[in-house]
């Protein structure tokens, strides 16, 4: 081993604390890259395998009642490989020991064969006997939520007939990876379950003998779905078809796809930030090391080492730091990716998870770490290589100094000499001070970018559950009923208020753009379910027009005042042109709203309702649920408080983990920047600080010079960090927006205050650690060093 190699190892050992601080920041970037890419790959590959093995359909459709004889015509549509016809319906469930109402979505299970498409995967037990009228299998999350095992029983209200059902097995299905009940915003496995019933029993229960109302198709690989959907709609239209749709609009797959898109966005936004910070830290440390090792560099050259060897020596020092950071990042990223992928698989009801991070991802993360640290060290390494031996053996020329108006201002302000020394140091090295401040600014930004989600979700909850949807519950009907049903609902136990609401599925078109949504209508002045304008004022939709959410209008590229085409998929299935009367802000879903009377006049019907919104007396909750279980027309109840609680619990669990992670990252960045800056500053100014001690300055005054400069830099970093954090938050809201939800950009002062507090405290602790070295300075030894 050559002398220069032994020097490399000694330097790394001497600087190990600074090296580890930088390596940990780099490891954060590598770990986040591996975690986001690993989770993305795991979810994508697991979904693809699950869909393929269990034959998840490509196109879906529902109808009121279509004859089985129609299936041969559907199978003849060009590109259709297979067809699966089923019977489906919703039912109120009466579960032993549960007061609240649960809703079951009933699906028929083929009598003479296994399902062709959307094949349920048996988790426990067996499938029901085709001849049985009471045996069923249920989705595993529903069974787990209630503690069901094979042989347990519950009751279902099937169109007014109470049927005792026996569980003989539990399953998982690719069709219900993300299971949300009608009208709900988050999964609630206790309140909503999927039930597979023998085809003969389901047909008898829903009067579907020789008919079907639910259809799934698989298509030739690579085939465009639009022509098939158009042909299928034409065939189903006489039988009450509600419009076919493909996977991209399927509720379960859409939620999963939105999550996968978020992971892809996280992989694109966050790792480059940490790699950039690592490059900056390496550049800062290497620059100051070379400044302190001028004489060693001159000596190396004097004894025969070439410029290339000296340059490589310092690049290898940066490389050792990178190797440590990459290794830690690989291990941490693999563990995080595997654990998080497993958690995601459980959340999305996957029966298994395929976790595999490709070697190229590890290689890319490692290469990115090595490149960023090498780039950070390249300029300083080249500077060291270009030093001539004779010049390098001499101390660097002192910086030129001349008085400026700032010095005059400090003199007039009668600042303490130690404060003047701090300010002069900052002004003497403005670029270095700015870069150090920038590093701390990124620490502030990482907390702002993570914790703004708290306030954003608070706004979503406030708007969705307290301003627009103020009802305690929504009562759902299997099909639209006369508005007189609202009066019947008012007579149910505990109902204080009841208001009508109507929904119709439609395709909205503007030019070549289109979107399938549910168009809502309600009576003007409704107090429970409301539409609010951008200023949070109650908005009554004008007659003859339609109001769209801002994101829906963006999808259609339409502005207020323009006209769009609305094709209704129910009733008379008519197409009308409507004026866009206004736009509203909506964070959950895509909203389209019409006037109640206009809607009913358009369908040429007496006023009808799809849902009744109610407020309740909580003291009579048990009596209300008992009454609902005995009311055949009601097929479901959505309790908004339970919905909100489920939403908040799910989100808060994720936020606690995310905030903890990002605050930890911010602390690592702060320690990496502050400790390195303070440690090298102490090395550079040791003689100066020792001189002050000899001249009579106390330890506190000398410590103030070292600590004051670093803390002033940290204070100057705060507004820069706020701006960078706001910018990253904006990127986050843009990349995480989907048809299902949008995260608003909400930046409250408390978010900035928390970020600054964490960074300033971490910076202070780091400087205090360095300050201990100041107390241990040997004044005689320091004064003997060459100036």
Q: Please say whether the beta carbons of 268 and 32 come within 8 A.
A: no
Q: Is 560 helix (H, G, I), strand (E, B) or coil?
A: coil
pLDDT at residue 19, as a whole number: 77
Helix axes 417-428, 430-461, angle to 10 degrees: 90
| pLDDT at residue 780 tops 60 | no
Q: Please say whether the beta carbons of 337 and 34 come within 8 A.
A: yes
- Name the DSSP class of 673: H
Neighbours of 181 (CB within 10 A): 23
Tokens matching residue 54: 């269990």
Q: Please say whether the beta carbons of 450 and 663 come within 8 A.
A: yes
d(CA 282, CA 488): 73
Q: Is 8 helix (H, G, I), strand (E, B) or coil?
A: helix
Q: Which of 137-146, 378-387, 630-639, 756-765 has the lowest mean pLDDT?
A: 378-387
| pLDDT at residue 784 tops 60 | no
Q: Is 348 helix (H, G, I), strand (E, B) or coil?
A: coil
pLDDT at residue 106, as a whole number: 92
Q: Please say whether the beta carbons of 518 and 480 come within 8 A.
A: no
Q: What are the Cα distances from residue 180, in Å, to 50, 477, 651? A: 20, 17, 16
Work out the percent of the chain whose per-residue pLDDT is above 70.
Answer: 89
Q: When comparing pLDDT for 603 and 478, which is higher?
A: 603
Q: When comparing pLDDT for 397 and 420, which is higher?
A: 420
Sheet holding 245-246, edge to edge: 80-86, 211-219, 59-67, 245-246
| pLDDT at residue 179 tops 70 | yes
Q: When comparing pLDDT for 375 and 510, which is higher?
A: 510
Tokens matching residue 249: 């609009």
Work out the pLDDT band at 527, boundaries 50, 70, 90: confident
pLDDT at residue 235, as a whole number: 92
What are φ and ψ of residue 167, in 5° steps? -80, 125
Mean pLDDT over 158-181 rounds to 88
Tokens matching residue 361: 């991802």
Q: What are the Cα distances from residue 40, in Å, to 225, 261, 263, 416? A: 26, 8, 6, 57
Q: Which residue in this structure is represented by tokens 């106390």?
A: 698
d(CA 465, CA 555): 25
| pLDDT at residue 786 tops 60 | no
CA nearest 675: which of 441, 447, 439?
A: 439
pLDDT at residue 142, as a whole number: 92
pLDDT at residue 656, as a whole number: 65
| pLDDT at residue 133 tops 90 | no
pLDDT at residue 274, as a whole number: 72
What are the pLDDT digits (tens) for 707-717? 788 888 889 99
What are the pLDDT digits (tens) for 368-377? 888 888 887 7
Q: Give the H/E segment covering residue 91.
A: strand 88-94
Q: When comparing pLDDT for 404 and 272, which is higher?
A: 272
CA nearest 643: which of 588, 592, 586, 585?
A: 588
pLDDT at residue 568, as a whole number: 87
| pLDDT at residue 145 tops 80 | yes
pLDDT at residue 56, as a whole number: 93
- Name the DSSP class of 180: -
d(CA 591, CA 547): 8
| pLDDT at residue 682 tops 80 | no
Longest dimension (CA), the chain: 104
Work out the pLDDT band at 21, boundaries 50, 70, 90: confident
Segments in 529-594 forming alpha helices (H): 550-556
| pLDDT at residue 512 tops 90 | no
Residues 6+ apart with CB under 8 A from 331: none
d(CA 347, CA 336): 16
Mean pLDDT over 48-76 rounds to 92
pLDDT at residue 49, as a whole number: 92
Q: Which residue in this structure is represented by tokens 């595999």?
A: 356
Tokens matching residue 622: 């048990």
CA nearest 173: which of 224, 94, 219, 117?
A: 117
pLDDT at residue 652, as a whole number: 66
pLDDT at residue 551, as a whole number: 84
Tokens matching residue 17: 């604390």
| pLDDT at residue 690 tops 80 | no
What pairs with residue 549 in β-bridges?
A: 584
| pLDDT at residue 782 tops 60 | no
Query: What separation, in Å, do the N-terminal and C-terminal C-alpha atoms of the chain show?
Result: 33
Q: When comparing pLDDT for 739 and 453, which is higher?
A: 453
Q: Which of 161-170, 344-353, 492-501, 607-616 has the lowest mean pLDDT?
A: 344-353
| pLDDT at residue 23 tops 60 | yes
What are the pLDDT digits (tens) for 529-539? 888 776 677 77
| pLDDT at residue 589 tops 90 | no
Neighbours of 676 (CB within 10 A): 25
pLDDT at residue 534, as a whole number: 65
What are the pLDDT digits (tens) for 253-304? 888 887 777 777 766 777 777 777 777 777 777 776 776 677 777 777 777 7
| pLDDT at residue 31 tops 80 | yes
Mean pLDDT over 665-690 rounds to 72
Residue 464 zone, left/alpha/beta (φ > 0; ψ -120 to 50; rest): alpha
| Sign of the alpha-carbon dihedral angle for 770, 772, 775, 781 | negative
CA nearest 289: which of 23, 22, 18, 25?
A: 18
pLDDT at residue 409, as a whole number: 74
Q: Which of 355-359, 574-578, 611-615, 645-649 has the lowest mean pLDDT?
A: 645-649
For the ranges 93-97, 388-392, 740-744, the maximum mean pLDDT occurs at: 93-97
Q: Give the side-chain half-sphere CA count within 13 A for 548.
A: 26
CA nearest 118: which of 233, 237, 250, 207?
A: 250
* CA-only gyration radius of the chain, Å: 34
* Mean pLDDT for the chain overall: 82
Q: When comparing pLDDT for 461 and 147, which is higher?
A: 147
Q: Please say whether the beta carbons of 135 and 163 come within 8 A.
A: no
CA angle 165, 171, 172 (to 5 degrees): 135
Residues 6+ apart with CB under 8 A from 779: 690, 693, 694
Q: When comparing pLDDT for 737 and 209, which is higher?
A: 209
Work out the percent of the chain whose per-residue pLDDT is above 90.
Answer: 15
Neighbours of 541 (CB within 10 A): 23
All structural domains of the chain, each given as residue ranges with its CATH number in brackets, are: 25-70+228-397 (no CATH), 88-207 (no CATH), 495-616 (2.40.40)
Q: Please say whether the beta carbons of 351 and 280 come within 8 A.
A: no
């Amino acid at each position: 081993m050559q002398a220069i190699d032994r020097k490399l190892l000694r330097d790394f050992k001497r600087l190990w604390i600074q090296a580890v601080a930088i390596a940990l920041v780099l490891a954060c970037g590598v770990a986040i890259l591996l975690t986001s890419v690993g989770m993305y790959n795991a979810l994508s590959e697991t979904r693809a395998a699950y869909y393929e093995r269990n034959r998840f359909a490509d196109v879906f459709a529902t109808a009121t009642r279509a004859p089985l004889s129609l299936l041969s015509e559907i199978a003849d549509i060009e590109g259709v490989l297979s067809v699966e016809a089923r019977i489906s319906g919703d039912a109120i469930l009466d579960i032993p020991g549960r007061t609240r109402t649960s809703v079951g979505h009933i699906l028929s299970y083929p009598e003479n064969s296994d399902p062709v498409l959307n094949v349920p995967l048996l988790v426990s037990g067996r499938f029901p006997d085709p001849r049985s009228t009471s045996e069923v299998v249920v989705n595993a999350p529903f069974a787990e939520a209630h503690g069901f095992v094979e042989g347990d029983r519950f009751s279902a209200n099937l169109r007014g007939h109470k049927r005792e059902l026996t569980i003989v097995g539990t399953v998982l299905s690719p069709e219900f990876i993300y299971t949300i009940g009608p009208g709900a915003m988050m999964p609630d496995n206790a309140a909503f379950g999927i039930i597979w019933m023998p085809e003969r029993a389901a047909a008898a229960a829903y009067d579907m003998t020789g008919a079907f109302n639910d259809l799934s198709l698989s298509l030739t690989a690579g085939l465009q779905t639009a022509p098939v959907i158009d042909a299928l709609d034409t065939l189903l239209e006489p039988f009450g078809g509600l419009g076919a749709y493909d996977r991209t609009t399927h509720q379960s797959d859409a939620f999963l796809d939105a999550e996968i898109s978020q992971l892809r966005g996280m992989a694109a936004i966050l790792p480059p930030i940490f790699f950039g910070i690592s490059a900056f830290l390496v550049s800062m440390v290497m620059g100051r090391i070379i400044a302190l090792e001028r004489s060693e560099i001159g000596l190396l050259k004097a004894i025969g080492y070439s410029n290339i060897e000296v340059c490589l020596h310092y690049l290898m020092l940066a490389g050792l730091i990178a190797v440590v950071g990459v290794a830690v990042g690989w291990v941490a990223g693999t563990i995080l990716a595997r654990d998080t992928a497993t958690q995601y698989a459980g959340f999305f009801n996957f029966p298994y998870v395929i976790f595999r991070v490709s070697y190229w991802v590890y290689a890319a993360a490692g290469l990115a770490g090595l490149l960023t640290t090498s780039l950070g060290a390249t300029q300083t390494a080249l500077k060291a290589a270009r030093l001539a031996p004779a010049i390098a053996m001499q101390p660097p020329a002192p910086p030129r100094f001349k008085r400026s108006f700032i010095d005059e201002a400090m003199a007039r302000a009668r600042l303490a000499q130690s404060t003047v020394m701090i300010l002069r140091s900052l002004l003497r090295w403005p670029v270095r001070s700015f870069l150090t401040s920038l590093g701390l600014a990124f620490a502030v930004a990482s907390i702002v970018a993570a914790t703004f989600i708290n306030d954003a979700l608070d706004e979503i909850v406030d708007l969705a559950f307290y301003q627009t949807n103020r009802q305690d519950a929504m009562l759902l009907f299997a099909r639209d009923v006369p508005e007189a049903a609202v009066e019947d609902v008012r007579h149910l136990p505990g109902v204080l208020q009841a208001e009508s609401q109507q929904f119709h599925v439609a395709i909205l078109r503007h030019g070549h753009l289109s979107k399938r949504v549910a168009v809502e209508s309600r009576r003007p002045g409704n107090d429970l379910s409301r539409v609010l304008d951008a200023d949070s004022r109650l908005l009554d939709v004008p007659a003859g027009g339609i109001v769209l959410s801002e994101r829906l209008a963006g999808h259609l590229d339409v502005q207020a005042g323009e006209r769009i085409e609305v094709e209704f998929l129910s009733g008379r299935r008519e197409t009308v042109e409507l004026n866009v009367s206004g736009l509203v802000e909506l964070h959950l879903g895509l909203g389209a709203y019409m006037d109640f009377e206009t809607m009913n006049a358009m369908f040429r019907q007496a006023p009808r309702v799809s849902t009744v919104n109610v407020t309740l007396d909580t003291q009579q909750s048990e009596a209300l649920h008992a009454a609902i279980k005995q009311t055949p027309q009601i097929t479901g109840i959505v309790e908004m408080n339970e919905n909100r609680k489920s939403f908040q619990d799910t989100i808060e669990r994720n936020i606690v983990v995310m905030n903890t992670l990002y605050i930890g990252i911010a602390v690592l960045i702060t320690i990496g920047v502050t400790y390195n800056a303070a440690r090298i500053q102490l090395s550079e100014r040791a003689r100066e600080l020792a001189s002050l001690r000899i001249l009579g300055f106390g330890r506190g005054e000398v410590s103030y010079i070292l600590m004051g400069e670093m803390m002033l830099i940290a204070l100057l970093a705060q507004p820069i960090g706020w701006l960078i954090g706001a910018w990253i938050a904006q990127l986050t809201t843009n990349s995480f927006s989907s048809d299902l939800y949008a995260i608003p950009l909400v930046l409250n002062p408390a978010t900035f205050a928390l970020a600054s507090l964490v960074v300033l405290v971490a910076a202070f602790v780091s400087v205090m650690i360095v300050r201990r070295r100041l107390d241990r300075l040997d004044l005689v030894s320091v004064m003997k060093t060459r100036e």
